[in-house]
Amino acid sequence: MSESKISRRDFLKIAGLAGVAMPVAKVIGQVDGDNVLYSPEEYGGFLVRQRPADNPPYQVDDSIYKRFDQKNEVFSRVQWDPVIQESEAPYASKIGENIMGNVKGFTRLDYAFYTAAWTVATTIGSTAGAVGGSNGGLYSWNPLGGFAGRIYGQEMPPWNGGDWSPEDVSGIVKTAAKFYGASLSGIAEVDERWFYDKRYTKGGTDTMGPGISAPIRYEEADAPQELEDGTLIIPKKMKYVISLAFEMDYDGMQTYLSGPGSAATGNGYSRMTFTAACVAEFIRALGYQAIPSGNCTAMSVAVAVDAGLGELGRHGLLMTPKYGPRVRLAKVFTDMPLVPDQPISFGATEFCEVCGKCADTCPGNAIPHGERTYEATYDAPNHISSNPGVLKWYVDTPACHLVWAVNGMDCSKCIQTCPFNKPDSWLHEATRVLIGAKNGTIDQFLLTLDDASGFGEQQDPDDFWRNKEVFVHTKEA
């Protein structure tokens, strides 16, 4: 901490006013009976409307919607679909070509930095890697060696919370999540619709090898288990899910497409893995069951929206008030008695309707312009990677994936250019005020202001190493 300055947060800590649990958002008013909250710590200064659980910031047509088969997700299709395998083919050779050609942002230094950032996620995160299968590695459904209800061989009953209220216990769990590495956390009741209908995970170590496809069942059972045929059983008594969000490095993200950009993503995945495992072990040590999950088991964005972490954006990503879409997501299912948070809205979806900047700048033209729909508007065979029935913008994920393959690097251009992806600055302050006004004309003005500011423009990857002063840092001293 600087000797010449003291921040508001530091002052509160010194004064003993920060509290023992997560910061509490202040209710400053109501709109149509819903509380309006304010918390710079949790919401980055945005005014947030707290919505009832039965009136979330999304619409589902249950006559259309069905649980999604993970086999049709684009990364799963790499393992079985000749169409996607053909588009994936240039990826490995392009990496070698980039390194040998010393291409800016794709040098050996950049690739070394990027691959190292993924280490935890891809080596001990799961037997199927960062985006793969349930119940493996640190995402194991079984205790990893902690107390898990036994302390030095002595059986212990589940912790009853003592003098802590249910709300306090929920705050304690979220405080632990933040301590272990989460930037944001929220709690929701489990919605069975968000579980994958079937899981899909690669077999062995061959990326193109045959995978395992098996049902995920949410039913009455004593404990979570995996059957011999790969079927996953999740007990219905595990009716709560803790959603975890992890801020990605702003400086790295501003260099996409590049090694430092991918390193920001990989580091997010590694932190997801570590933190989800720690939160699960913490809950197990208190005598309850826990299932940690990265991109497996259930759809993380839907869970996060239910848990009050944000809204769904045009680019198909979670839009948080504090970090915009610049987060990665994990989750932990549990039977520990918790108090759910409420969904929120803060104007993000309405702004996306006016903006379209991610669609304009997407290298693969994978993000749609126009209005939201209940089904994908692009053609077969790509449409099987979408799941109709939710009113949203349907991203053509195979077209997105093709950009990765031809460049030899993953892409997050949509995050980089999003006006909500801002460091703390005068423009961020303006964003909070103008979006809070809920006016389409103002939204268009803000978009023009964002274009003029230079935020969202790609930074020179070499400057990430050599000229760091060109970046706007968001890390605290």
Read off the pLDDT of residues 402-429 as tens digits, 9 standing for 90 and up: 999 999 999 999 999 998 887 765 555 6
Residue 222, domain member (yes or no): yes
Whole-angstrom distance, CA of residue 456 vs CA of residue 421: 8
Residue 225, domain member (yes or no): yes
**Phi, psi (rounded to 5 degrees) for 366:** -90, -15
pLDDT of residue 154: 77
Residue 115, domain member (yes or no): yes
Positions in the chain short of pLDDT 50: 1-21, 128-130, 204-207, 437, 439-440, 472-477
Residue 438, domain member (yes or no): yes
Give the predicted TM-score (pTM) of the model. Answer: 0.88
Structure tokens at 54: 């039965």
Residue 125, domain member (yes or no): yes
Q: Which of 37, 41, 42 is nearest to 26 (CA)?
A: 37
Whole-angstrom distance, CA of residue 221 vs CA of residue 238: 10
The answer, yes or no, to whether the previous bond of 257 is cis (omega within 30 of 0) is: yes
Element (H, E) at 166: helix 166-180
Whole-angstrom distance, CA of residue 461 vs CA of residue 256: 8
Residue 477, domain member (yes or no): no
Residue 461, domain member (yes or no): yes
Decide: 246 and 276 in contact? Cβ < 8 Å. Answer: no
Residue 51, domain member (yes or no): no
Whole-angstrom distance, CA of residue 250 vs CA of residue 471: 9
Residue with tokens 């684009």: 74
Residue with tokens 């008695």: 337
Whole-angstrom distance, CA of residue 179 vs CA of residue 176: 5
Whole-angstrom distance, CA of residue 239 vs CA of residue 53: 14
pLDDT of residue 450: 61
pLDDT of residue 272: 95
Segments of 177-282 assigned E as strands = 184-189, 198-202, 211-219, 225-226, 232-235, 240-247
Read off the pLDDT of residues 177-200 as tens digits, 9 standing for 90 and up: 999 999 999 999 999 999 999 999
Domain containing 343: what range?
59-466
The answer, yes or no, to whether the previous bond of 321 is cis (omega within 30 of 0) is: no
Burial 391-405 (b: 16+ CB within 10 A, else e): ebbbbbbbbbbbbbb
Number of domains in the chain: 1
**Phi, psi (rounded to 5 degrees) for 384:** -70, -15
